Amino acid sequence: MKEAGIKELAITGTPLIGEGNVVDNKALNSVLSKLGIQCVSIYPDGPFVWLARWFHVGLSMNTRKSIEYALTSEATRSSLKVLPLKLELRRAIKKVYENYPHAISFMTSQSIMAEESVGCIGDIPTFNVSSDVIGKFTDKSRLSDRQREIIYLVWNKEALDLYKNKLKLKNVHLIIPVDPMEAFERTEGNTLQFHHALNNSKYCFVKLSGSGGDPELINPAIASLFKKSGVRSIVFPGTRKVQRKLITTAGEKVPVTAYLDTSLFYSLCREMISGKQMLLTYPSEQVKHLAVLSQNNIFPNVVWLPPRGQHEVMNLAWAIKKGFSGTVCIPELYHKKLGFELINSGIRASEFECVVPEKLSADHFRPSPKWEYETDSVPFETIVRRLLNDTMIKH
C-alpha cells in the first residue's frame, strides 16, 4: 500500500513545442485538481526542445513545409533525428521524479513525452490523453515497447478501434473529451472589443498555432475577407513574430486586432453566438475543441488552414466525415497534394473544397454540426480515479 500521510501527486508535463499541448496539459491539471489530486507540472525546455520548437515554428510559418510534413511526419517522429530530444525529455522526467518520489502517475497530452516517461520514474502508470482524433498513430504504425506500456485515453470510436483492434494495444479507455477551456478562468478586464465581436457577425476569429502561421497565407486571407465581405478579424497569433508580420495586413487599411495571449480566446469563446461567428483555424486540437463547443450549443462557421503533419490530416478527415467544414484556405499550388491526402484518408472529392486566400469570403465558412459524445464513453476523472486506485492497491 502507499505510505500513509503521503498525498496523491500526479506529474503532468509536455515539452514547450506548440501551444496546443500546453493548453491541454493545463486542462488535465484543472480536472485532476478538482479530484483532489495534487499536480506538479513540468515543461522541459532544453536545447533540443528549442530545436524542435523552432522546427514547429518553421512549419507553421511556411505552408510548403506544412504540406511536406503531412507526408513525412510519422517517419520523422520515429527517426534517429528525434533521439536527442527523447533523451533530453527522459533526463528531465527523471530529475523531476527525484524531487517527487511519491508520485502516483505521469500524465501528458504529448505522445513523445508519454513514451519517454515509461520506465523512467518507477513503477507508476503513464497516461497519454491526446487531443488529436487518433493521436499520432496510423494503422501502419510500428509501436515500441515503451509505447505499448502507456495507458491511452481516447475520446472517439475511431481511435478506440485503431488502438485496440489494429494496433493491438491492451490498455485503452474511451473517455469524454477533456474541455481545453478547463485550463482558463473567465477573463475579466479590457475585453470590450472581444465582446463587441461576439455580437457582430462581421467578425472572424483567426486562431493560429502557438507557433504562429504563414503570413503569406493569413494576410491575404484576412484582406480578402474584409474586401469581399466587410469582415473584420481578431487574431490570436501566439508569437510576437506573427504579430509583427500582421502589420502588413493592417497597413492595407484592413482592421485587425491581435492578441498574444490565447487564454482570452479559450476563456471567452463559450460566449460565441451560435450561427454567427466565423473561425479560421488549423485542424489541430481545435477539431476536438469544436466538438466540445457543440456540446454547449456553440456552432461557429469554420474554414480550415492547411494541416501540419499526418495527424492533422486525419483530424481534418474526421471532422469532414462528422459534418464539420470541408473548406480549406490554402494556396493553389498545394490543392492537389492536400486533395490526394484527404482522398487517401477516405474523403470523397465532393466533400471538401480548397479556396485560395485571395478569394476567401464569408460565404466559404460552413456551420459546425452537433457532435454527440460516444454513448459508452466515461468521464476523464472517473477512469483516472479508477486506474489510480488500482495502482495504489498494488503498492
Q: Would residue 4 count as lying in a domain? A: no
CA 40 to chain centre: 21
Q: Residue 220 in contact with residue 254, Cβ under 8 Å?
A: no
**Cα dihedral 175, 176, 180, 182 sign:** negative
Asked if 365 contacts 303 with a C-beta cutoff of 8 angstroms, the reply is yes
Same domain, yes or no: 246 and 284: yes
Q: Torsions phi, psi of 304, nearest 5? A: -90, 150
Sequence-separated (6 or more) residues with CB below 8 Å from residue 79: none
> Do 110 and 145 fall within a single domain?
yes
Q: What confidence score (pLDDT) does residue 189 get?
A: 53
Supply the DSSP symbol for 179.
Answer: P
- What is the pLDDT at residue 190? 52
**Cα–Cα distance between 235 and 379 in angstroms, integer?**
33
Q: Kindly state whether residue 119 falls inside one of the protein's structural domains.
A: yes
State the Cα–Cα distance between residues 389 and 383, nearest whole angstrom. Answer: 10
Contact 52, 45 (CB under 8 A): no
**CATH number of the domain that residue 18 is part of:** 3.40.50
In a domain, 322, yes or no: yes
Q: Are residues 144 and 235 in the same domain?
A: no
308 and 227 both lie in a single domain = yes
Which DSSP symbol is given to 285? T
Measure the CA–CA gap between 233 and 221, rounded to whole angstroms: 10
Determine contact, residues 342/262, Cβ cutoff 8 Å: no
Q: How many domains, in total, are found in the chain?
A: 2
Is residue 219 assigned to a domain?
yes
Task: Please check whether residues 159 and 240 belong to one and the same domain.
Answer: no
C-alpha 228: how far from chain center:
31
Secondary structure class of 9 (helix, strand, coil): strand
Regarding whether 94 and 19 lie in a shared domain, the answer is yes
Is 230 within the bounds of a domain?
yes
C-alpha cell at 324: 464539420
Rounded to 10 degrees, the C-alpha dihedral 269/272/278/280 comes to 10
pLDDT tens for the chain, residues 1 to 395: 344 334 578 899 999 887 788 888 889 998 988 888 888 899 998 999 999 988 888 888 889 988 888 888 877 877 888 899 999 999 999 998 888 888 888 999 999 999 999 988 777 889 999 899 999 898 888 898 999 999 999 999 999 999 999 999 999 999 999 888 887 766 555 566 677 777 788 889 999 887 788 999 999 999 999 999 999 988 887 666 777 777 778 788 888 888 767 777 887 777 766 667 899 999 999 999 999 999 888 899 999 999 988 899 999 999 999 999 999 999 999 999 999 999 999 999 999 999 999 999 999 999 999 998 888 999 988 888 887 777 655 55
Predicted local distance difference test score (pLDDT) of residue 335? 95
Q: Which cell numbers hold the place of 189? A: 478586464
Alpha helices in 118-191 (DSSP H): 145-149, 157-161
Assess whether 32 and 153 both reside in one domain: yes
Both 213 and 150 in one domain: the answer is: no
In this structure, the answer to whether residues 216 and 359 fall within a common structural domain is yes
Q: Which amino acid belongs to residue 259?
A: Y
Domain hosting 152: range is 9-177+376-394
Position 5 scores a pLDDT of 37
